[in-house]
Each structure stands twice: as C-alpha cells, then as structure tokens.
Amino acid sequence: MFNNLVNRQDLDFLVNGLRTGSIWRTLKRLVRGSEAAVKATWEQVAGPPSYVWSIPAVRRRANRLITGDPDLEYPVYVSQTYLAPLQPLHGLSLGCGTGEKELRWASLCRYARLDGYDISAPRIAQARSQARAAGRPEAHFHAADVYRVDWPAAHYDVAFVDQSLHHFTPLEALLLKIRRALKPAGYLVASEFVGPTRFQWADRQLEAINGVLAILPPAYRRRWSNGRIKTRVYRPSRLSMIMGDPSEAVESARIVPLLERHFEIVERKDYGGTIIHPLFNDIAHNFLDDDGHEKDEEARRLLELCFQVEDTLLELGDIQSDFALLVCKPPAP
C-alpha cells in the first residue's frame, strides 16, 4: 500500500523486533538521524557467511561472466587492461570498509598513493591495521563523509567503488565530485548493484526467485539470523528498507543512467545476481563447510541449478542483470 511504503511483512518485522528488542535499537538509531543510522549499521566489522558472495562458486561465476575465466578476478583484469600503463597511480576508493579490496588493488599495480574513505571509524581502524601488517604505506584510510571531502581537481588516475556506490545519495552530486577529481585519462571502476532502488523487485523476478527457492531442500533454506526455514522472498517495504539501513540501494536504479550522462562507459560486463542475490540472502551458509568451501556434491549441484535458471532467464531477456562491472572515463572536453 502507498506505493509499498509499508506492507504485511512489516507486521512480522514489528512483532519480531518487539520480541527480541531490536526494534528499540533500530528506532534509537533513526531518531539520531539518517547519517548516524548509516554509521551504526556499518560499525560491525565482521559479517556472517550468509550472503550470496560468501559462496566461492558464486564468485567464480561472476569472474566468468566478467572476464571469461572463472579463475580470473576482475581487479586483475582491470589492472592489466586499463591501469598498468598509468603507473605509478594515484587511487581513490569510496566505501572502502576494512580495506581488503584496496590492499588487493595495491598489490596488482604500483601506487604512489591509494586513498580509501569510509564513514565507519571501526572499519577504518581495521583497514589501517591491515595496511600496516601488509607493509603497504601507500594505502591511506580515512573515516569521513565523502560529501565533505574536497579532493583536488584532476588528481586521481583511478577511482574505485566496489559494491558501495548504491549506498550513496545524492548520487549525481557524488559522481560529479569523482569526475572532477579524476585526471582526463583516469578511470572510474564500479562493480555494483544496479538493480531496483530499495530492492523493489519486479513481479516476474519474485516469481522466478520463489520458484527456485521452492525446489531447494529445507536443509539449504535454514536462515542464519533465526534458524527458521526460508519459505518465500518478498518485496521489502520502503519503510523496512529505511529502518534496516537508510543507505541500502538508495538510488541504485539511477547508477547506470547517471554514469551514461556524466562519463563515457568504455566497458560494461553484466554478471547477473537478479535471482541468486535475493535467493541466497540469509541462507548462503547452508552451502558451505567450516572452511568456507561448498560443503558437498549436492550443494554444488543445487548451486549449478540456480545458476542455470538465472542464466537462461537472462539470455531470454525475461529478467535483467542486477549487477554490473562498469569501467568509465571522464568525457572528452
């Protein structure tokens, strides 16, 4: 109702929140303001293995769709194809979290300096610690609101946004800041969720997700968060999205149109996620052993089945890819 501002699932959210006490923590965060709520959401450093990207086979499939090789990760491909000629690099990374991805980029090319920014002070503290342990003095991490940082014009050779751009708003203002900070020959590299804003999944998408979910054995549908069997994926209400994390997918559907408006997209590789991202949310751990690998042959067969369904529907044009790698550069003057 009200353009899905609220829906029937919010009652379950409310009842569970009252039972566990989480509703009061959520309301306290929101009363403090949107920025404080986002900071609180991202203060946790370590996350459970309950999300789609926790599954190695999912990552290998993404590699194949992006680079053509399941063992070739996109940072290696991008570094070799686009960044190597620009060494030594001045790099910028937004929403860097605990810094693992930035240290990976730093290992692939020679950087004069790589600046990572994140709003979460605990995550930045861990990033700095990891940079020291890795012997990467060129990696500098900053706890800051990127909208309040004044980067020098035409300074950076590359800007990275890895699963972070869909958390920023106002999006267009940030993209203009990035464009100004890049050198004329620089690149913006975005590996991103570009699907529906606030996860407002289309009816056909939900139909496909729930069709696949229904054929998974119950042992693979047990939720990490509460131990219950996941029986259905629903379109979340906009209110529940805001209460959970005000920044989640806040302008995700505008990412590609705005990149097309303000940059030249030199390469785009879609890598799906339209079905498997909502499908595996909170249940991915069921497919993994204690070492983080697919736990057995049955798990591997079920994963392959899920991939085949999504691949087929993408090829038919029945659904659109929710994730994409985009390599962009500032437009010619």
More confident position, 39 or 326: 326
pLDDT for 239: 82
The DSSP secondary structure of 93-129, one letter per residue, reads EES-TTSHHHHHHHHHS-EEEEEEEES-HHHHHHHHH
CA angle 38, 39, 40 (to 5 degrees): 90
In angstroms, how far is the first alpha carbon of the chain from the final one?
47
Does residue 150 carry a pLDDT above 90? yes
For 177-211, how does the pLDDT look when each residue is reduced to its tens digit (9 = 90+)? 999 999 999 999 999 999 999 999 999 999 999 99
Two tokens, residue 143? 């706890």
pLDDT in tens, 251-276: 999 999 999 999 999 999 999 999 99
- Residue closest to 153 by CA, chosen among 125, 177, 119: 177
110: left (phi over 0), alpha (psi -120 to 50) or beta: beta
In which band, very low, low, confident or very high, does the pLDDT at 29 lie, cut at 50, 70 and 90? low
* Domains contained in the chain, CATH given: 9-329 (3.40.50.150)
Reply yes or no on whether the pLDDT at 9 is more than 80: no
Residue 42 banded pLDDT, cuts 50, 70, 90: very low
Token pair 């209460």: residue: 243
Q: Mind listing the pLDDT tens digit for each residue in 101-136?
A: 999 999 999 999 999 999 999 999 999 999 999 999
Nearest to 92 by CA among 164, 42, 40: 164
Q: Which residues pair with 142 in a beta bridge?
A: 117
3-state DSSP assignment of residue 296: coil
- pLDDT-derived band at 7, boundaries 50, 70, 90: low
Q: pLDDT value at position 17?
A: 55
- The mean pLDDT value of the chain amounts to 91
Average pLDDT over residues 24-28: 51
Rounded mean pLDDT, 303-315 = 98
Give the burial class of 168: count Cβ atoms within 10 A of its Cβ; 0-12 exposed, 13-18 middle, 19 or more buried: buried
Say what the pLDDT of residue 49 is.
81
Name the band, by pLDDT with cuts 50, 70 and 90, for residue 148.
very high
How confident is the model over 222-239, as pLDDT tens digits? 999 889 999 999 999 888
Question: Any residues with CB less than 8 A from the CB of 107 and at least 6 apart, and which?
Answer: none
| pLDDT tier at 176, thresholds 50, 70, 90 | very high
- CA-nearest of 160, 151, 157, 159 to 186 is 157
The pLDDT, as a whole number, for residue 227 is 93
Check residue 24 and give its pLDDT.
47
Q: What is the pLDDT of residue 241?
A: 83
